Amino acid sequence: MIKFLFSFLICFSFICNANNSFSDVDSLIEKKQFLDAWKLLSSKESKSNKEQVNIKKIDMCLKYFTKSISHQAFAFTNLKPDENIIQKRNLAETKLIPTFPFKIDVIIDSLIRENPKNYNLYKSKGDYYYDIFILFGKDWIINKQEVLRRMYTAYKKADENGKNDYLSLYALGYFHNLNSETNKAINYFKRSVSLDSNYAPTHYNMAYIYTELDSNNLALKHALSAYGKYKYITYKNNACQMAGSILGKLERHNEAVSVLLDCDRLIPSTYQTYYYLLNSFLKLNKTKEALLTANNMFSLDWKSHTINTDIIEFFIKTNHLTELISFYQTKLKNEKFDMEFRGHIQLHIAQAYSLVNEDEYKVKYINEAKESFTACYDKSHPIFRVLNKMIK
C-alpha cells in the first residue's frame, strides 16, 4: 500500500510539474511581456521537453508576434499596460526590427518524424497552416491549395486522435465547404459551435450553407448569431445583410427592414443593403420609402445596367409599374440638357415597358433614346446595337 501511494505521488507530482512548467511564461504573457516570455521559454528547452516547448513556441508565434517574416522568423515586444499588439504590428510593418528565426514547418515536421504519435504536434501544424491561409492568402512560399491541404491533413489526423478545438473543427468544416462537401462541412461546424458558440465565422458559414439548402429558418438563426457576435464592422455588416436577405425570403419584411436599417447605420450607402431594403419596402407597399431607396441605388451609379435592371425588376414584380415610370420621368424632367443621361433614362423606361409587353411605349422610348445618344455618341457606339436588338 505504501509502495502504491509512493508511486501515485510521483505520478501526481509529474503531472503537476508538466502543468506548471510554463506558469512563469504564462505570467509574463499575461503581463504582455512577450519578448521576455519568448526568451524564458527558449531557455527552458531540453531534449526531454522539446516537444512541449516547441508547441508552446508555435502558439506564441501565432498569437503574440510583433512582426512576422513570412512566418519563418518572428519579433516580439514587451508592451506597456496601455499598448496593444495590433498597434505594435502596424508600427512594425515599415520598420526593420530584430527577429528570431523559427521555421515552424521544418521544426514541426522534424518533431513529428521523431514522435508520430504525439497528436498535439499535428494540431499545432494545423494551427500554423491555418494562420498562413488567413494572413498570406496566395502570397506565401507555397501556393494556397497546398497550404489548405497541409492544414486539412494535420487537423484531420489530430481530430481523429482526440486533439481538436473549436477553431480546428471550424477550419475542417471550411475546407469541406470549399470542396462542396456540404454534409461534412455542417457536421464539423456543429461540433465547432458545441465547443464555442461565440465564434462568429462558424455561425456565418452555417448560415450560408443553410441558405444554399433552402433551410431559411436555420440560416436565419445562424446569420443573426453571426451578426450579434462579430466585432469587425465589415463582417458584422455582411452578417446583417445576410439576415435581412433571409428575413425577406421568409416574407418577414418588417423585421427585414429593421435589420437592414441597422446595416445602413453600420456602413452607409452600400448596394446590397439598398437591394434588400427595396425588395422589402415594395413588398410592404411602402412606396415612399421604396422610391427613396431606389434613388439611393440609382445615385451610386446611374449608368449601371445591373443597378437599373434590379430597380426595374423589383418594381415590376411587385406591381408598381406606375411608380417606376414616374421615378424615371422625374429624372428626365429634372435633366433636360445632358443627352447621355437622358438617353440612359429613356433606355430604362423602354426596358420597363418591355417587361410588361407594352410594345408601343417600348418602341417610343427606344427611339427617344436613339435621338439622345446620337447627340453624344458616334454611330458605331455599341449602345445602338443594344437599342436595335430591343426593337426586334
Asked if 337 contacts 301 with a C-beta cutoff of 8 angstroms, the reply is: no
* Cα separation, 38 vs 18, whole angstroms: 18
pLDDT band at 13 (very low <50, low <70, confident <90, very high): very low
> Residue 17 pLDDT > 50, yes or no?
no
pLDDT tens per residue across span 244-303: 999 999 999 999 999 999 999 999 999 999 999 999 999 999 999 999 999 999 999 999
pLDDT tens per residue across span 154-207: 999 999 999 999 999 999 999 999 999 999 999 999 999 999 999 999 999 999
User: What does the domain layout of the chain look like in residue ranges?
Assistant: 21-102, 301-392
pTM beyond 0.75, yes or no:
yes
Closest-CA residue to 102 (of 62, 134, 71, 139): 71
CB atoms within 10 A of CB 201: 19
pLDDT tens per residue across span 215-242: 999 999 999 999 999 999 999 999 999 9
Grid coordinates given for 182: 456540404
* Cα separation, 22 vs 49, whole angstroms: 11
The rounded percent of the chain whose pLDDT value lies above 70 is 95
Burial class, 221, CB count within 10 angstroms (exposed 0-12 / middle 13-18 / buried 19+): middle
Grid coordinates given for 74: 518572428
pLDDT at 214: 94
What are the residue ranges of helices labelled H in 144-252? Answer: 144-160, 166-178, 182-195, 200-212, 216-229, 233-249
pLDDT band at 371 (very low <50, low <70, confident <90, very high): very high
> Residue 4 pLDDT > 60, yes or no?
no
> Residue 61 pLDDT > 50, yes or no?
yes
Closest-CA residue to 220 (of 255, 191, 195, 188): 255
Burial class, 132, CB count within 10 angstroms (exposed 0-12 / middle 13-18 / buried 19+): buried
Task: Report, at the CATH architecture level, how domain 301-392 is classified.
Answer: Alpha Horseshoe (1.25)
> Residue 97 pLDDT > 70, yes or no?
yes
CB atoms within 10 A of CB 100: 16
Beta-strand ranges (E) seen in the chain are 67-69, 73-75, 100-101
pLDDT band at 15 (very low <50, low <70, confident <90, very high): very low
Average pLDDT, the chain: 92
Type of residue found at 124: S
Grid coordinates given for 18: 508538466
> Residue 149 pLDDT > 90, yes or no?
yes
The rounded percent of the chain whose pLDDT value lies above 90 is 87
pLDDT tens per residue across span 200-214: 999 999 999 999 999
SS3 68: strand
Q: What is the DSSP letter of 302?
A: T
* Cα separation, 82 vs 357, whole angstroms: 67
